[in-house]
Structure 1
Amino acid sequence: MTVDAIRNEITEQLKRIEQEEQVRILYACESGSRAWGFPSQDSDYDVRFLYVRRPEWYLSIQDKRDVIERPISDQLDISGWDLRKALGLYRKSNPPLLEWLQSPIRYAEPYRTADQLRALSSQAFSPKACMFHYLHMARGNFRTYLQGDQVKIKKYFYVLRPILACEWIEQFGEMPPIKFDELVERLLPREDALWNEVQQLLERKKAGEELDYEPRQEAIHAYIAKELDSLEKRAHALKSADATIDERLDRLFIEALQEVWGLVLPQ
């Protein structure tokens, strides 16, 4: 399928979800390797969205499913979170959600909600919580895929990116950019063995080469091992989010219901 055909299919799938689930999609974007800038030829399209149900759905004491997922098919992996769930995670500085909001590939944004969340992101951002999230991701991928003399070298990207995200958080005190290239350009020293190995791997990945098991990359491996040893102590030294934004998020939730469904509150 061409890129245009894929986008059209994604749009149709999102419309179908709205009809079948009786929801309205507030925002839909690409996440994962395509948004990060290093997809493989066979990478899925990881579509993530935020949605809101009719107001009466929320007026219940019952626990209800607050996620919509569709089976992975034809390169499409589509899932979304109910807005109330998303806001609960947002107040905890949830990194995947914060990444979705800054994705460079957006499929739908017909309402104000996503832009309102972006405007609040500096208040919701917790350096400590986000750094521990990325550290956990880096450790898990390193332990699972990069042990031994022969490693699945494309997984270096899935360890390097969260490590560089940690470095960004520590240096700049803000949510890291989603693009891997920008992290590399700003944070890695140029013209040494580490820079050269990363650039060579990135060029091969962008050219569509399938990176499988190969001898480990010594400079990248040494950098990862060194950073993983020190990141946890550095993460503990960071601060949590300062502001409490619960009231603002309550208001944002009500405003979304008003904008989407014309909700009228009693005086």
Structure 2
Amino acid sequence: MDGVIQEKLKEIEEQFQVKVLFAVESGSRAWGFPSTDSDYDVRFVYIHQPEWYLAIDPQGIGDKRDVIEMPINDMLDISGWEITKALRLFRKSNPPFLEWMYSEIQYYEAYSFKEKLKGLEDEIFFPNASLYHYLNMAKSNYRTHLSKEQVKIKKYFYALRPVLAAAWIKERQTIPPIDFYDLMEALVPNGKLKEEILDLLVRKKAGEELDLEQRIPAIHQFLDSEIEALEAYAKTLPPRISDPTDKLDSLFRETLQQVWK
């Protein structure tokens, strides 16, 4: 599949007259719990030629879209964000974009853009925004998929992972690991809860993610208590004061010059 992805990225550069800065895997494969039939969720950041930006209508308006989305098939979902869109999301500490930055499954990287992004992490990352994102994701998935007496195995992980990511931010004030196993090892002590989660992880990877079964009390108790604690903590968080826009403007201009000479 790597070869197919590389060819698709080249086609995108030629078709849209852009340069791809980096491309990574997102979703369940990057999180460490793919099943036997999981597709590939490829995400990338790209930059247009200077003329694209030197115009009276900004990108994102009318025909000047700030995303590129390729037709999805059964095995491959590939889409990307234009660099200024990506930087605006980075300014907000947007977790999906931060996960792109730190995905361990990388398909392509050129120039120094991603390296410089990581160099700005300590100045740009705003823990509060990311914590709220993961907390709201956990609550939504829990409410939608785990409130009945019978649940699908797959849905446990889409509540557990954001809860653990939010808990990591609460404790360490840093970007949480992408891999679910790393989060679990750091935050879930040895015992019945961990055993239940590990068992589900094995079963999900084996393709049992669509099976309905009775709720697992240990996991539900953990999710209930963690969500309650995180909600209480979130209410104590102060608003952001600093504005990193100048630094991100500079990174955009530097990348534009580097890519297009």
Could you state the TM-score of these two structures normalised by the residue count of structure 1? 0.92
Rounded to whole Å, the distance in 2 between the matches of 1:23 and 1:157 is 36
Deviation of residue 142 (structure 1)?
0.9
1:40 maps onto 2:35 in alignment: yes
Deviation of residue 210 (structure 1)?
3.8
Deviation of residue 240 (structure 1)?
4.9
* Higher deviation after alignment, 150-159 or 58-67: 58-67
1:108 maps onto 2:103 in alignment: no
Residue of structure 2 in register with 1:203 after alignment: 202
1:54 maps onto 2:56 in alignment: no
Rounded to whole Å, the distance in 2 between the matches of 1:241 and 1:19 is 40
Residue of structure 1 in register with 2:233 after alignment: 234
CA deviation digits over 1:69-113, x for unaligned, max 9? 012114111110000111111111111111110000001101100
Deviation of residue 226 (structure 1)?
1.8
Rounded to whole Å, the distance in 1 between the matches of 2:179 and 2:240 is 24
* Higher deviation after alignment, 163-172 or 212-221: 212-221
Residue of structure 2 in register with 1:69 after alignment: 69
Residue of structure 2 in register with 1:217 after alignment: 216
Rounded to whole Å, the distance in 2 between the matches of 1:61 and 1:44 is 40
1:251 maps onto 2:250 in alignment: yes
Rounded to whole Å, the distance in 1 between the matches of 2:39 and 2:140 is 21
How big is the alpha-carbon RMSD for the aligned residues of Structure 1 and Structure 2?
1.4
Q: Is contact 1:149-1:216 (8 Å) kept?
A: yes
Deviation of residue 32 (structure 1)?
0.8
Structure 1 residue matching 2:44: 3-state secondary structure: strand
Partner amino acid, structure 1, of 2:3:
N
1:90-169 to 2 correspondence within 5 Å?
90-169=90-169
Q: Is contact 1:123-1:241 (8 Å) kept?
A: no
Residue of structure 2 in register with 1:3 after alignment: none
CA deviation digits over 1:142-198, x for unaligned, max 9? 11111211111211001000000111001011110001011100101212x211110
Deviation of residue 50 (structure 1)?
0.2
Deviation of residue 33 (structure 1)?
0.6
Deviation of residue 239 (structure 1)?
4.3
Deviation of residue 241 (structure 1)?
5.0
Q: Percent identity?
A: 54
Rounded to whole Å, the distance in 2 between the matches of 1:171 and 1:25 is 35
1:190 maps onto 2:190 in alignment: yes
Structure 2 residue matching 1:28: 3-state secondary structure: strand
Rounded to whole Å, the distance in 2 between the matches of 1:115 and 1:68 is 23
Residue of structure 2 in register with 1:11 after alignment: 6
* Unaligned 5+ runs, structure 1: 1-5, 263-267
Moved over 6 A (4+): none
1:78 maps onto 2:78 in alignment: yes
Deviation of residue 138 (structure 1)?
0.6
* Higher deviation after alignment, 20-29 or 226-235: 226-235
Closer, same or farther in 2 for the Cα pair 1:259/1:143, shift >3 Å? same
Could you state the TM-score of these two structures normalised by the residue count of structure 2? 0.94
* Unaligned 5+ runs, structure 2: none
